[in-house]
Amino acid sequence: MVGPPSWSHDEHPSLDAQEIGAVNPDTPLEVLRYLSEIPNSSIRSHVFSNTSCPPDILSRNEPQDQWHRGIIARNPNCPVQALQQIAWDEDPSRRKAVASHPNCPPLILQFLARDKNGPVRLAVAQHPNCPPDELRRFSEETGQHAADEISAAALSHPNCPVDALCRAITPNSSLTKAIEAAVCHPRLPVEWMELLISQEPPLWSQRVAENPSCPPRLLLQLSGHIYDYQVRGAVAKHPHCPAEALRVLSRDPSPFVRYQVIQHPNCPLELLDVMVNDEHPEISAAAANHPDAKPAVRAMWQLAH
């Protein structure tokens, strides 16, 4: 492995040595500062993308560094001062880099939320620090494909306001990507889940069953969904599926659903004794080879197969 280079200003390192120094995260800071000032644009680009590049170099804002602003904005060490400057850049890809930076503060995100460029706004909607008011506004974007993507991103955001989630859902309407995001959001109130499982088509119920906050009583109710095995399959895969629902689903006519019961981490042990005799060979094998299957049950299955 090539170690970090070290040389003084009166030396003239080769281009290969300069490149090695520019990309190596173990390069001493004084060498990185030296390389950031040489005329070679490619070497400076490597310095600006180096994860050990110090903030004072990234925020230097020299005229010869303007072409590297996108690279600077993508560096995890990029200081807020530099991000604020690049947020005004004419190139939307650079503004997007700012909106995607993990340390981008809410004030800059709020500024970029009004950007005319769709990918920039999408990056804002996906950012962990996106202000709730902007998420609420993004959730109402409609029309173009980019707007639908932004709306779905906002409605999927962990901090999306509850009122925005409820406002986005229109019962008896077709499920768009944005509405699906709202139905699956953990902050969706239970009363809305109760309303949606009474709607058609069954895809509403399936998305409710996929919601990580769906309460056990609704999962038990959905385990008896007679129209769509995918709804029942979603119930069987839910981490909070109650044992009573798993017992009901263990007798489901769909092999897909029964197999999900076997795979559930809270599958009641007594079901393994029964499902080892399932007519579907994959389900029978899964029950016999389950970590908690009784040795005698596993041995009997092995003799039979």
Tell me the pLDDT tens digit for each residue of 223-280: 998 888 999 999 999 999 999 999 999 999 999 999 999 999 999 999 999 999 999 9
Q: Which 8-state DSSP code applies to residue 202?
A: T
Residue 254 contacts residue 232 (beta carbons within 8 Å): yes
Q: For residues 76 and 124, what is the distance between their CA atoms, to the nearest angstrom?
A: 17
Which residue, among 197, 155, 195, 157, has the nearest Cα to 178 in the 3D structure? 155
Residues 105-126: what's their mean pLDDT?
96
Rounded to the nearest angstrom, the gap between the alpha carbon of residue 231 and the centroid of all alpha carbons in its chain is: 23
Structure-token match 């389950």, residue found = 290
Q: Distance between CA 246 and CA 263 in Å, rounded?
A: 11
Coil, strand or helix at 248 = helix
Contacts of residue 167, defined as CB under 8 A and 6 or more positions apart, other chains included, come to: 139, 140
Which residues, in sequence order, are CB contacts of 55 under 8 Å at separation 6+? 77, 78, 79, 82
Angle between helix 145-156 and helix 118-126 axes, rounded to 10 deg: 10
Residue written as tokens 């995607």?
100
Taking the CA atoms of the chain, what radius of gyration do you get in angstroms?
28
The answer to whether the beta carbons of residues 263 and 254 sit under 8 Å apart is no
> Which tens digit of pLDDT belongs to each residue from 37-65?
888 999 999 999 999 999 999 998 777 77
Under the banding of pLDDT at 50, 70 and 90, the label for residue 299 is: confident
Average pLDDT value for the chain: 90
**DSSP code of 154?**
H
What separation, in Å, do the N-terminal and C-terminal C-alpha atoms of the chain show?
54
Separation CA 143–CA 15 (nearest Å): 52
Q: Is it the case that residue 7 has pLDDT exceeding 60?
A: no
CA-CA distance, 290 to 286, in Å (whole number)?
A: 6
For the stretch 165-204, pLDDT in tens is 999 987 666 778 889 999 999 999 999 999 998 876 777 8
pLDDT band at 1 (very low <50, low <70, confident <90, very high): very low
- Sequence-ordered list of residues with C-beta below 8 angstroms from that of 164, at least 6 positions apart, any chain: 135, 136, 139, 140, 154, 155, 182
Long-range contacts of 105-108 (CB under 8 A, 24+ apart): 105/80, 105/129, 106/130, 106/131, 108/80, 108/83, 108/84
Cβ atoms < 10 Å from Cβ of 217: 12
d(CA 298, CA 182): 44
CA 216 to chain centre: 25
What does the chain come to in residues? 305
Tell me the HSE value of 230 on the side-chain side, using a 13 A CA sphere.
9
The span from the CA of 77 to the CA of 80, in Å, is 9
The total of other beta-carbon atoms located within 10 Å of residue 259's CB is 19
Identify residue 214 by its one-letter amino acid code: C
**Percent of the chain residues past pLDDT 70, beyond the cut:** 93
One-letter amino acid identity for 257? V
DSSP 8-state symbol, 171: T
